[in-house]
Amino acid sequence: MNVIKNLKIIMALALSCLIIIGTTATGVDPSLKDYQEINNNLQEKTSNSENPQSDYWALLFAVGVYKNHPEQNRESMLEEVEDLYDVLLDAPEWQADHIHKIKGSDATGIRLIKELRWLLENEDSDDISLIYLTTHGSPLIGFRGTPIDLPPFDESDGADEILVMYEGFDKWYAFIWDDLLNFFISSLESQGVCLIVDSCFSGGFNDRPIFAKNTINGYTAESFEMGMMEELASKGRVVLMSCQEYESCYGSHFSDYLFGGLGGLADIAGNSNGVNSAEEGFYFAKFWIDLLHTFTPTMLDLYPEGNPSAGELPLTTWV
């Protein structure tokens, strides 16, 4: 298991270089020492896993301000990430040292990759992982208005979806695209993974695990069932998106309703079992969005994998 995870880390580092190229001014050095530190953390984690228990891990990432482009700033994003942080800490499952909250000028593409690696290093198969991303979103369009689909060339409309980072209106490479994000999330071992994306065009981030939907080098996902890629193709994932792939959603209304629901209202409107699930939170938020706004939240529910109706992904206990 540790060998598999180390290989995932190496692959993730290689993909990360696509964003790190051209950013030496940030002082980031993705060196061998960097990988060795990650490997040491993984070794320590493995040695301490004799008595596994379920932990809850969260990466909360809100951009909200944009370098040299104050007209693009969205204060509501910074407010909502604080609201989610408070909601999580009010629930007994969550601990402050298991939550990383990044916002504002700290929310760069480099930082997002480092934080995704932090999550990958710490979570394991007994855990629940939550990732919240809010910023401007857009299809990936070239200089002449041509849509761009980066490998693995899986977009029916020819354009990947991107999330803009702090320097995203100054530097063309200061974004993260759906396939790279999907790679990191597909590499998580957690029994449940909830990804929340509140941005325009966020419905484009509902890709299924990358090795589950594509044929790679002549092999289908089924070919990997007994091999190294098995974990990547069988994640219990729930993706909550503020709107559909071709929609804009001004403001942070989806986050506002969703986090209000996770404080207890979602479960009251759901099965009233004392646990707010990702699915209950989504349906609570969608009710109010459908009633009061013009965009359409969307959800990909793979929890449990292959039978979404059999269970719900628990996020907060409120009673």
pTM for the whole structure: 0.76
CA distance 2 to 159: 35
CA distance 158 to 174: 20
pLDDT the model gives residue 184: 87
Structure confidence at residue 208 (pLDDT): 53
At residue 180, the pLDDT reads 82
The token pair that represents 148 in the structure block? 């761009």
- CA–CA separation, 132 and 238 (whole Å): 12
* Cα gap 270→213, rounded to integer Å: 31
pLDDT confidence of residue 316 = 96
User: Do residues 86 and 131 touch, judged by C-beta distance below 8 A?
Assistant: no
DSSP 27: T
Structure-token match 């990430």, residue found? 81
- The C-alpha atoms of residue 169 and residue 269 are separated, in whole angstroms, by 40
Q: Which two tokens stand for residue 284?
A: 């609570």
Block means of pLDDT (10 residues each) for the chain, 319 residues, are 47 46 36 45 45 83 93 92 97 97 95 95 94 85 66 62 86 77 87 89 58 40 34 66 78 93 94 94 96 91 66 88
Contact (CB, 8 A) for 315 and 92: no
Instruction: Show the beta-strand stretches assigned E in the chain.
Output: 56-62, 99-103, 128-134, 137-139, 161-164, 175-177, 192-198, 237-241, 275-277, 298-301, 314-317
pLDDT at 199: 85
Classify 26 as helix, strand or coil: helix
pLDDT at 136: 86
DSSP state at residue 167? T
Question: For the chain, which domains are there?
Answer: 2-26+56-235 (3.40.50)
DSSP string, 252-284: SHHHHHHHHIIIIIHHHHTT-SSEEEHHHHHHH
pLDDT at 201: 63
